[in-house]
Chains A and B, each alone.
Chain A
Amino acid sequence: MNEFYYIIPFIILAAGILISLVIEMYFTSSEKILPWFSILTFLASGFSALFLVNNVKVVFENMLMSGGNVNFFIFIFNLGAALVTLLSIDYIKKYHTYYGEYYILLMSSVLGMSLMAGAKDLIVIFMGLEIMSVCFYALAGINRNKLKANEASLKYFLLGSFATGFLVYGMALVYGSMQNTSLEYLFLNFTKFNTNILFLAGLLFILFGLSFKIAAFPFHMWVPDVYQGSATTVSALMSTGGKAAAFSAIIVSFASVLTVVNTNVFAPYFGAIAVFSMLFGSIVAIAQTDIKRMMAYSSIAHAGYMTIGLASGNSYGVSGIIFYLAAYTFMNIGAFGIISIVEGKNDTNLTIKSYAGLANKKPILAGLLAIIMFSLAGLPPFAGFFGKYYIFIAAVKAKLTWLAIVGVISSAISVYFYIRIIVLMYFKESEEDFVIENSNTGLLSVIIAVLFVILLGIAPNSVINLISYFAK
C-alpha cells in the first residue's frame, strides 16, 4: 500500500488549511462558510484516523507512525477541535472579531498535535510542537486590539520559546549520546544508555520542554494568565488539545520507560511533578475569583493526576492517561464552552459570582455545567471518576500507593471549588442582572461534549478495552 494512504488524516488537514486560505480570500461571506468547512475537515480527518486505526505502520523512513494509539489521539484532537469550532461561531459574533485566519490556525494547530502523537523521531516531535505552538501564540493574541490578549500571547510566546530552547538542547544531548534521533532506536537501546548521564540529562531537558506544554507545576506560570487573557474558545483548545499532544509526545518518547519494567529512572521526577501540580493546582484554585483562572489552576491539577500515570510506568498508566486525556478533553471543552456562552461582551460575567442563580435563568446550561463539574471533581458515574480511578490503580500496581493517596487527597480538596459553582448556581440568588445570549451552536457543542462525558463514564470498560487493544 502506498505510504500516503497511512497519512490521510494529515493530508486532509493540510488540504483543509490550503482550501480555507482560498475561501477566506475569495468569498465575502467567509464568516458563514469557514467554520462549517473547518468542522467538516476536522470530522473527515478524525474519522479517517478512526478508519485507519488497525493499520499500524511506520511510514516515511521511520519518521511517522500511523494506526493504533496514534490514530486514537488524532481522533480526539480532531473531535475536540470540531467542538471548539462549533463554540467559536457565536463567540466570535458576540465579540465582533471575525478573522478568517482563526480557523486556519485552529486547523494547523491540530495538524501539529497529530504530528506529535505520531512522532517516531525527535525531529517530528519538534516540528509538531512548533507548528502547534506557533499557532497557539498567534491564536492567543488573535483579538489583536485587546490588551489582555496581546499580553497573554506575549507571555505565552516568551515562555514557550524558552521551553523550546530547553527541548532543542535536550535533543542535542540525546543525539550526541546515542548518535541517532530515532525514537525506535531510543526505545530499543534504552537500557544500554540508561546509565549514560549525557543521555539522561538530554531526556530531562526534553521533559522540561514538554512539561511546559502540559502545564505541570514548576512550568505552570503562564497557564492562568494565558487562559484568562486569550479568547475562551482558544483556551478551551489550548487546555485540552495542547496538553493531550504534549502528553502523547511524552508517551512516545519515553515509551521504554513506560512499558519495559524497571527502566523508570524518571519515576522520582514524575512523582514530584505530580504531587506538586496536584496540590498546588487544587489549593490555589480555591482562592480564585475569576472562573477562567480557576479552570487554569484546575488544569494544572489535572496535569498532576495524569503525571501519576507516567510515574507508575506501566501499561495501565499509559492506557489510564489516554483515557483520562479523552475524558478531560470533553470535560474541559464543555466547561469552557459554557463559560464562553455565559460570558458577555467585553469580558463581563467572568467571575465565579456571575454563576449565582444560573439554574433559574438557564436551567439547561446549569444542568450541563453541574454534570461537568461533578465529572471534573472526579465523582462517579462520570468520565472524570474513571480517569482518576485508572490512574490511581496504575499507581497502586506500581507500588506507588502514597502517590495515589496524595491524588485522592488532592481530589478531595478540588471537590470544594467545583461544587462551589454548583451550589452558587442552584442555591444562590443572582446578584448581577445580565442577559445570556442564546447560542444554539455553542449549546450543541456543549451537549455533545457532555454526552461523551456520560458515555465514557457509563461504559468506560469498552473504551479502555479499545485503547488497550490498540496499545499493543
Chain B
Amino acid sequence: MTIPIEYYLILSGFMFLTGVVGVLTRRNAIVVFMSIELMLNSADLTFVAFSSYLGNSIGQVFVFFVMTVAAAEAAVGLAIIIAVFRNKKTVNIDEINILKW
C-alpha cells in the first residue's frame, strides 16, 4: 500500500480533462455523451479515492447514487438522440443547426 492518494487524483483529473476535451471537440452527439460519461466516472473515482483514504463510507454511497443517476440520464439522452436522428437523419451536432447555437 504505497500508492499515495495524489496518484489516484492525478488519474481522475486526467480522465476529467479528457472528458472535457471530448465534449468540446467532438461532433457526434453520441461521442459527446461518452465523454460526459468519462467526466462522471472520473468524479466517481475521486469520490472513491477520498472515501478509501479518509476511511469514510459516505463517498461510496455517493458514488452509488451518481452511477444510478448516470444510467437514468443515459436512457433519456439516448432517447433524445434517437428522436433527433429520426427527424434529421444525423447526430452530428454541427449539422443540427436550425436554431443557431
A-to-B contact residues, CB < 8 Å: 122-123, 126-127, 130, 134, 137-138, 141, 144-148, 150-155, 157-158, 161-162, 164-166, 168-169, 171-173, 175-176, 179-181, 221, 224-225, 228-229
A-B contact pairs, 5 of them (CB 8 A): A138-B76, A158-B32, A161-B73, A169-B39, A180-B56
Let me know if A127 and B65 touch, CB within 8 A.
yes
Contacts of B84 in A (CB 8 A): 147, 150-151, 154
Beyond A146-B87, A150-B80, A162-B23, 8 additional contacts (C-beta under 8 Å) are: A127-B65, A141-B83, A147-B87, A157-B77, A175-B47, A175-B62, A176-B46, A229-B99
State A162–B69 Cα separation when bound (angstroms). Answer: 14
Give the shortest distance, in Å, between A130 (CB) and chain B (any CB).
Answer: 5
Which residue of chain B is the closest to A159 with respect to CB atoms? Answer: B23
Which residue of chain A is the closest to B65 with respect to CB atoms? Answer: A123
User: A130-B72, A134-B76, A137-B77 known; A175 and B36 CB under 8 Å?
Assistant: no
Partner of B66, one of A126, A137, A145: A126
Partner of A169, one of B23, B43, B54: B43
Partner of B88, one of A138, A147, A168, A173: A147
Let me know if B73 and A148 touch, CB within 8 A.
no
Give the shortest distance, in Å, between A137 (CB) and chain B (any CB).
Answer: 5
Contacts of B81 in A (CB 8 A): 154
Contacts of A225 in B (CB 8 A): 99-101
Within 8 A of A (CB), among B6-24: 16, 19, 23
Let me know if A169 and B46 touch, CB within 8 A.
yes
State A5–B46 Cα separation when bound (angstroms). Answer: 37
Within 8 A of A (CB), among B43-90: 43-44, 46-47, 49-51, 54, 56, 58-59, 61-62, 65-66, 69, 72-73, 76-77, 79-81, 83-84, 87-88
Which residue of chain B is the closest to A147 with respect to CB atoms? Answer: B87
State A155–B44 Cα separation when bound (angstroms). Answer: 24
Contacts of A221 in B (CB 8 A): 101
State A158–B78 Cα separation when bound (angstroms). Answer: 11
Give the shortest distance, in Å, between A92 (CB) and chain B (any CB).
Answer: 19
User: A154-B93, A172-B47, A180-B58 known; A148 and B99 CB under 8 Å?
Assistant: yes
Closest 9 CB pairs of A and B: A165-B39, A176-B50, A172-B46, A168-B43, A225-B99, A169-B43, A150-B84, A147-B87, A172-B47
Partner of B36, one of A148, A161, A179: A161
Let me know if B80 and A154 touch, CB within 8 A.
yes
Which residue of chain B is the closest to A170 with respect to CB atoms? Answer: B43
Contacts of A158 in B (CB 8 A): 23, 29, 32-33, 36, 77, 93
Contacts of A181 in B (CB 8 A): 58, 62
Contacts of B101 in A (CB 8 A): 155, 221, 225
Contacts of B29 in A (CB 8 A): 154, 158
State A168–B66 Cα separation when bound (angstroms). Answer: 8
State A119–B22 Cα separation when bound (angstroms). Answer: 32
- Of A141, A152, A165, A228, most B-chain CB atoms within 10 Å: A165
Contacts of B77 in A (CB 8 A): 137, 157-158, 161
Which residue of chain A is the closest to B19 with respect to CB atoms? Answer: A165
Let me know if A134 and B72 touch, CB within 8 A.
yes
Which residue of chain A is the closest to B61 with respect to CB atoms? Answer: A123
State A173–B9 Cα separation when bound (angstroms). Answer: 10
State A166–B39 Cα separation when bound (angstroms). Answer: 8
State A122–B58 Cα separation when bound (angstroms). Answer: 11
State A127–B70 Cα separation when bound (angstroms). Answer: 11
